Amino acid sequence: MKRIALVLVLFAVSWLLLMGDAVCASKTLEIGALFPLSGSLALLGEEGFRGVELARLQKNKAGGVAGAQIVYVQADVSTEEAARSEAERLIEQKNVHLIIGTYASSRCMAASEVAARKGIPYFELSAIANEITGRGYKTMWRTNPTALDFSRAQIDFIVGWLAPQLKKKPSDMKLSIAHEDSDYGTSVAASFSRLAKEAGVQVVSVEPYATNSSDLSPVILRLREANPDIVIGVSYAQDAILLSRQAHELKLKAPIFGTGGGHSLRSFAEALGPVAEGVFDADFTQYAVNPDFCPGLQEFVSLYKEKYGEPPRSGHSLTNYIGAFVVFDILEKTGGDMDPEAVYKAAMSLDIPLGKTAAGWGVKFGENGQNTRVPVFITQWRGGNLVTVWPKSAAVTEPETAKAQ
Domain with CATH 3.40.50.2300 in the chain: 24-145+294-374, 148-283+378-390
Instruction: Indicate whether 185 pLDDT > 60.
Output: yes
User: What mean pLDDT is predicted for residues 61-72?
Assistant: 98
- Number of Cβ atoms within 10 Å of the Cβ of 13: 10
pLDDT tier, 24 (very low <50, low <70, confident <90, very high otherwise): very low
pLDDT at site 11: 45
φ, ψ dihedrals at 171, nearest 5°: -70, -15
Residue 35: beta bridge partners? 76
Mean pLDDT, rounded, for 3-23: 43
User: How many whole angstroms separate alpha carbon 70 and alpha carbon 77?
Assistant: 21
Residues in the chain: 405
Measured between alpha carbons, how far is 331 from 328 in angstroms, rounded to an integer? Answer: 5
Fold category of 148-283+378-390 in CATH: Rossmann fold (3.40.50)
pLDDT of 403 reads: 76
Amino acid identity of residue 306, one-letter, is E
Query: Which pLDDT does position 402 carry in this prediction?
Result: 79
350, 331 contact by CB (below 8 A) = no
251-292: per-residue pLDDT in tens? 999 999 999 999 999 999 999 999 999 999 999 999 999 999
Please tell me the predicted confidence (pLDDT) of residue 137: 97
pLDDT-above-90 percentage for the chain: 92
pLDDT digits (tens, 9 = 90+) for 153-166: 999 999 999 999 99
Tell me what the mean pLDDT of segment 199-210 comes to: 98
∠ CA 103-379-306, nearest 5°, is 60
On average, the pLDDT of the chain sits at 93
| Range scoring the smallest mean pLDDT among 2-6, 40-44, 49-53, 264-268 | 2-6
Q: What is the mean pLDDT of residues 113-132?
A: 98
Please report which helix (H) or strand (E) contains residue 234, including its range: strand 230-234
Query: Which pLDDT value is given to residue 37?
Result: 97
- Residue 387 has a CB neighbour count (10 Å cut-off) of 17
Dump pLDDT digits (tens) for 341-396: 999 999 999 999 999 999 999 999 999 999 999 999 999 999 999 999 999 999 99
Contact 158/201 with Cβ under 8 angstroms? Answer: yes
Residue 237 has pLDDT above 80, yes or no: yes
Q: Do the Cβ atoms of 374 and 365 come closer than 8 Å?
A: no
In the chain, % of residues over pLDDT 70 = 93
How far, in Å, CA of 231 to CA of 258, rounded? Answer: 8
Give the pLDDT of residue 8.
41
Architecture in CATH for domain 24-145+294-374? 3-Layer(aba) Sandwich (3.40)
- Read off the pLDDT of each residue in 195-212 and give the average, rounded to a whole number: 97
Q: Phi/psi at 298 (nearest 5 deg)?
A: -65, -35
**Number of Cα atoms under 13 Å in the Cβ half of residue 260:** 30
Measured CA to CA, the distance from residue 62 to residue 308 in angstroms comes to 20
Using the Cα atoms of residue 154, residue 151, residue 348 and residue 143 in order, give the sign of their dihedral: negative
Residue pLDDT, tens place only, 308-352? 999 999 999 999 999 999 999 999 999 999 999 999 999 999 999
pLDDT of residue 26: 55
DSSP state of 160: I
pLDDT of residue 9: 38
pLDDT class of 20 with cuts at 50, 70, 90 = very low
**For helices 316-334 and 340-349, what crossing angle results, to 10°?**
110
Torsion angle in degrees (nearest 10) through CA of 315, 30, 58, 349? 70
Residue-level pLDDT at 404? 75
For residues 402 and 277, give the distance between their C-alpha atoms in angstroms, rounded to a whole number: 8
- Listed in sequence order, the residues at least 6 apart from 85 whose beta carbon sits closer than 8 Å to its beta carbon are none
- Average pLDDT on 174-187 reads 97
